[in-house]
A and B are shown apart, each in its own frame.
Chain A
């Protein structure tokens, strides 16, 4: 890891330096009116080698899947295949314009269509859109769809969405953006949706439920169809948050088990790279009665040709054009590489790896809901007096591991959510478990090692309070 401070690009700037080599103007010039012309442009001036060294050195301050194990629960940090990058880099994708017309973009439309169909099949849905740019964007589309469905039937009272208290923060935030209110549903003692609480909450003001299955505790709720039945009987719809699809490909089709609308995160289950925070892509699949509400345009196949179409009563465009196409290319490549049996083996190995890792550490790191987990499990990091999950997380860094997800879900205190994924080998899992146990020992014998961690990184724990009290959000020359 690069431990040396790296100056800001502005601090490396020197007047008159120029990296770009542009052509000479080959047409007569037109003067720019003084009233419009910019007089000052404060961008840095660097030569090309300085730019390359600067960003290369910056990259060396990062952990990444290519370099480190990242057991981040709920994020599915699996290997991002290089073949995806090669496929996405083809000139035929990069240089295609979204408005060139259906006649001239049959290749691109074909890819979107085939991915739509593949993901539909994986989820068990009747129709789908690939327009959303991320999981949360897909959630927003899904909630818009639910709202539009009820309004289309003259049912204007349904303004509330039920959300389990273990849900990801995007779920309630999404509802607010769609003008709906939320009501939290308590989980029962086993970490499942409390059926009695659900029955009590259902009514003619409930638009639906947003449910993650397996849930954020990594547990599959066997009552999923019962939950769906109850919600449907009360006139509501079931939204499935597909963030945990990595446990289910080829194993369970949510669309066949009562889920009316669901998003997948292509940057989770379908191996597209996280890129330091995106871009992602959000597939949205729906049951038959919701298909006319999908956001669009989507791709249809008519008489052997591919065409862009807007669903009849679409909730509208979620963004410009058709989705994060470059990300879709990667996901489609991945689906082709895995094939039907590969998709099932993906889930099997993800679940096996998680259960194996759980077995290695659960005597020391209490797992609140100890039954068989799916692709992830939630342990607790308060190992000793004065030791918190945060300390365990930071100490893991000193051993060369990215920490698991911490303090989520909110219903487990001192939560440590661990998801190894199927792309890690047994040796890595064994090593990680060993390190976790070692840290537990340190917590008892030498807790200062945890409190001071990390010490092997370019900077130690940052004063986030100071950063938020006096925000410095850009370079101040």
Chain B
């Protein structure tokens, strides 16, 4: 029987040592009528049968590796260097536990410290935690943090152009609280921050692809005594100014783009950073430097008094398991790409996206709506975008996300994403396919 080590002989010897006459006796505390219910599940398969089954299911999906791929909208087809999975699959990282015993977890702890360091520089923040579940929950918990630090201010100004799923998650998390979630359109500087505002929130870039003036937004928020919270594209931070540099107090990001596969939506990586005065209110694990009695430097989970296992009902968050291995992949990605590599990836995205936008804009009936963008932009289409997407996807050209998926009334808008993975040839194929399908 798979994965159980002991044989029948072992079990007999163990039962004898315990003084039990049978395995069933071990469960005598369970009421008889409830004990050993039937499980209506198939019997065990052999390893090769299991793989055959999984392979056949996996083959039923349309994947980025077989198509010209222009779909983003929160999950991105970026390059993953071979070093990343090679390191992350090492058993010593993969099957290690949460580093509560630092003496036997220095590998994990130092990797987290390195991730915190690189992410802090990338996002322009002074402190970064060890991860949250994904960009959406990181943003939701960042807003809870800003709300709790707001000294009684109840209003949160949310950009209407945040990812719709992120807005949903924020509303779920705030359901039980007396906050006022108010959406604003356009520039964050015009959001209307006032004395009742706990924080102003904007994405960088926004869901539509638009890049807003963060500096002006931060200044306006601060003038009203509010915090400025930015959700950023971490690849974009390799080319454009970081949110921290532009005045953000709290920055979140979706780290999936940094070395993690799209994996049908998870596991992803919630990145969260803040200015140092907010560190004791920040949820999540944090690693810090420490010394032992001999003066040797090591790393340890610290500021634990914020967390659930100590603070219990007064904890800033209930988070326990986070996204450790995904964070490790991002750490290895950042170390491998480094300064030169990340900048080069971001530049390729920028150049290819701008090229694609200019080519699409030249197709009759198509118009690019986004003014300032990085790798994603919104296109106005002459026929319903959902129809275009279905037609093209069946021919292995996935042109982007029809916005009607989230906004049913926005039937003629398509969110197109271009990364370093797209070739000029694929961009031309997209242009030809769109032209053809719109006739």
Interface string of B232-244 (1 = CB under 8 A from A): 0000011111100
| A433-464 interface bits toward B, Cβ cutoff 8 Å, 1 = contact, 0 = none | 00000000000000000000010011111111
Residues of A172-198 contacting chain B, CB below 8 A: 172-182
- Residue A97 contacts which of B3, B64, B423 (CB distance < 8 angstroms)? B64
**Residue A232 at the chain B interface, CB threshold 8 Å:** no
Instruction: Give, as a whole number of angstroms, the nearest-CB distance from A229 to chain B.
Output: 13
Q: B1-32 CB contact bits vs A (8 Å, 1 = yes)?
A: 11111100011011101111001001111110
CA distance A400 to B68 in the complex (A): 51
Q: Name the A residues within 8 Å of B263 (CB-CB).
A: 93-94, 96, 325-326
Q: How many angstroms between the C-alpha atoms of A37 and B81 in the bound complex?
A: 25
Spot the interface stretch: B46-54, B181-189, B218-226, B377-385: B46-54
Please tell me if the beta carbons of A110 and B60 are within 8 angstroms of each other in the complex: yes
Q: Which residue of B lies closest to A354 (CB)?
A: B26
Q: Is the CB of A62 within 8 A of B104?
A: yes
Q: Is B77 in contact with chain A by the CB < 8 A criterion? A: yes
User: Are B58 and A251 closer than 8 Å at their CB atoms?
Assistant: no
A346 within 8 A of B: yes
B387 to chain A, nearest CB (A): 12
Confirm or deny: A80 has a beta carbon within 8 angstroms of a beta carbon on chain B: yes
Q: Of residues 323 to 367 in A, which have CB atoms within 8 Å of B's CB atoms?
A: 323-327, 329, 332-333, 335-346, 348-349, 351-353, 355-356, 359-360
Most chain A CB neighbours (cut-off 10 Å) among B165, B311, B320, B390 = B320
Least CB separation from B60: chain A residue: A107
The answer for the CA separation of A14 and B105 in the assembled complex, in Å, is: 27
Q: Does A289 contact B (CB under 8 A)?
A: no
Within 8 A of A (CB), among B349-401: 350-352, 354-355, 372, 389-390, 393, 398, 401
Q: CA separation between A338 and B45, bound complex, in Å?
A: 7
- Whether the Cβ atoms of A48 and B83 lie closer than 8 Å is yes
Instruction: Name the contact of B240 in the complex, choosing from A36, A316, A372 (C-beta under 8 A).
Output: A36
- The verdict on A321 contacting B264 (CB below 8 Å), with A338-B2, A340-B42 known, is yes
How far is the CB of B375 from the nearest CB of chain A, in Å?
12
Most chain-A CB neighbours within 10 Å: which of B238, B302, B350, B390?
B302
Which of A5, A256, A458 has the most chain B CB within a 10 Å cutoff? A458
Report yes or no: B279 in contact with A339, Cβ–Cβ below 8 A: no
Contact of A277 among B102, B116, B324 (CB under 8 A): B324
On whether the beta carbons of A460 and B31 are closer than 8 Å, the reply is no
Does B176 contact A179, Cβ atoms closer than 8 Å? yes
Supposing A22-B348, A94-B261, A326-B261 touch, asked if A467 and B61 sit within 8 A by C-beta, the answer is no
A175 to chain B, nearest CB (A): 6
Q: Which residue of B lies closest to A42 (CB)?
A: B121
- A458, chain B: closest CB distance, angstroms: 5
Contact A95 B261 (CB under 8 A): yes
Are B133 and A457 within 8 A (Cβ)?
no
Interface residues in A86-140 (C-beta closer than 8 Å to B): 86-87, 89-101, 103-108, 110-111, 118, 121-122, 124, 133-137, 139-140
Contact assessment for B26 and A135 in the assembled complex, using a CB-CB cutoff below 8 Å: no
Is A25 in the interface zone, CB < 8 Å from B? yes
CB neighbors of A among B311-366 (8 A): 311-315, 317-328, 332, 334-345, 347-348, 350-352, 354-355
Residues from chain A with a CB closer than 8 A to the CB of B30 are 220, 222, 251-252
How distant is the Cα of A45 from the Cα of B342 in the complex, in angstroms? 11
Report which residue of B20, B112, B254 has the largest number of chain A beta carbons within 10 angstroms of its beta carbon: B20
Residue contact A36 to B241, C-beta cutoff 8 Å: yes
Of the stretches B92-100, B153-161, B429-437, the one at the interface is: B92-100
Please, which residue of chain A has its CB at the minimum distance from the CB of B136?
A320
Q: Which residue of B lies closest to A167 (CB)?
A: B312
A266 to chain B, nearest CB (A): 10
Interface segment, one of A381-389, A411-419, A468-476? A468-476
| Contact A461–B103 (Cβ < 8 Å) | yes
Contact across chains for A277 and B338 when beta carbons are under 8 A apart: no
* A8: B residues at CB distance < 8 A: 110, 113-114, 117
B208 within 8 A of A: no
Given contacts A30-B354, A275-B94, contact A169 B342 (CB under 8 A): no
Interface members, chain B 33-79 (any A CB < 8 Å): 34-45, 47, 50-51, 53-55, 57-65, 71, 73-75, 77, 79
Residue B277 at the chain A interface, CB threshold 8 Å: no
Complex Cα–Cα for A90 and B428 (A): 29
Q: Given the complex of chains A and B, what is the CA–CA distance between A251 and B420 in angstroms?
A: 52
Within 8 A of A (CB), among B280-335: 285-294, 296-298, 300, 302-305, 307-315, 317-328, 332, 334-335
Most buried by B among A41, A66, A281: A41
- From B2, B133, B242, A137 is in contact (CB under 8 Å) with B133
Q: How far is the CA of A251 from the CA of B318 in the complex (A)?
A: 30
CB of B89 within 8 A of chain A? yes
Contacts A52-B87, A96-B62: A475 and B292 contacting too (C-beta < 8 A)?
Answer: no
The A-B contact count (CB < 8 A) is 669
Partner of B101, one of A51, A275, A393: A393
Give the distance in Å from the alpha carbon of A96 to the alpha carbon of B268 in the complex. Answer: 14
A380 to B23, CA, bound (A): 27
Binary contact track A383-412/B, C-beta < 8 Å → 1, others 0? 000000000011001000011000010000
Complex CA gap A147/B292 in Å reads 47
* Given known A99-B75, A474-B128, contact A343–B41 (CB-CB < 8 A): yes
Question: How many angstroms from the CA of A220 to the CA of B165 in the assembled complex?
Answer: 40
Q: Which of A260-293 contact B (CB under 8 A)?
A: 265, 267, 271, 273-281
State whether B342 touches A58 (Cβ < 8 A): no
Whether a CB of chain B sits under 8 angstroms from the CB of A202 is: no
User: A85: CB under 8 A from chain B?
Assistant: yes
Task: Judge if A153 is at the interface, Cβ distance under 8 Å.
Answer: no
Question: Chain A binding site: helix, strand, loop or mixed by DSSP?
Answer: loop
Residue in A6, A139, A471 whose Cβ sees the most chain B Cβ within 10 Å: A471
Bound complex: CA of A89 vs CA of B318, how far in Å?
A: 30
Residues of A31-74 whose CB lies within 8 A of B: 32, 36-39, 41-46, 48, 51-52, 54-56, 58-68, 70, 72
Q: B414 to chain A: closest CB distance in Å?
A: 12
A219–B29 CA distance with the chains assembled, in angstroms? 9
A154 at the interface (CB under 8 A from B): no
* CA A318 to CA B251, docked complex, whole Å: 20
A124 vs B40: C-alpha distance when bound (angstroms): 10
- Which one of B5, B96, B105 has the highest number of Cβ atoms from chain A below 10 Å of its Cβ? B96
Known: A136-B321, A276-B99, A423-B4. A59 touches B107 (CB 8 A): yes
In the complex, whether B409 has a CB less than 8 A from a CB of chain A is no
Is A466 among interface residues, defined by CB-CB distance under 8 A?
yes
Cα of A276 to Cα of B326 in the assembled complex, Å: 10
Q: Output the least CB separation between A390 and chain B (Å).
A: 10
Q: Which residues of A contact B354 (CB under 8 A)?
A: 30
State whether the Cβ of B257 lies closer than 8 Å to any Cβ in chain A. no
CB distance from B317 to the nearest CB of A (A): 7
Residue from B136, B240, B427 in contact with A32 in the complex, judged by beta carbons closer than 8 Å: B240
- Asked if B407 lies at the interface with its beta carbon under 8 angstroms from chain A, I say no
| Residues of B close to A89: CB separation below 8 A | 85
**Contact present for B137 and A319 (CB under 8 Å):** yes
Contacts of A237 in B (CB 8 A): none
* Chain B residues within 8 Å of A56, by CB: 87, 90
Q: Of the candidates B19, B114, B345, which one forms a contact with A9 in the assembled complex, judged by CB atoms under 8 Å apart?
A: B114
User: Shortest beta-carbon distance, B349 to chain A, in Å?
Assistant: 10
Closest to A85 in B: B89
Distance from B355 Cβ to chain A, minimum over Cβ atoms (Å): 4
Interchain CB contact under 8 A, B286 and A473:
yes
The reply to whether the CB of B130 lies closer than 8 angstroms to some CB of chain A is yes
Say yes or no: A25-B348 contact (C-beta < 8 A), given A45-B339, A59-B93, A397-B101. yes
Q: Does B106 contact A (CB under 8 A)?
A: yes
Task: List 7 additional A-B contacts (Cβ < 8 Å) besides A8-B114, A316-B175.
Answer: A37-B241, A38-B241, A98-B75, A169-B309, A176-B313, A471-B286, A474-B120
- What are 8 pairs between A and B in contact, CB < 8 Å? A38-B239, A90-B54, A97-B77, A104-B393, A108-B264, A225-B31, A321-B266, A336-B44
Q: Please name the 4 residue pairs, one residue from A and one from B, whose CB atoms are nearest each other, closest first.
A: A92-B58, A179-B176, A321-B265, A275-B325
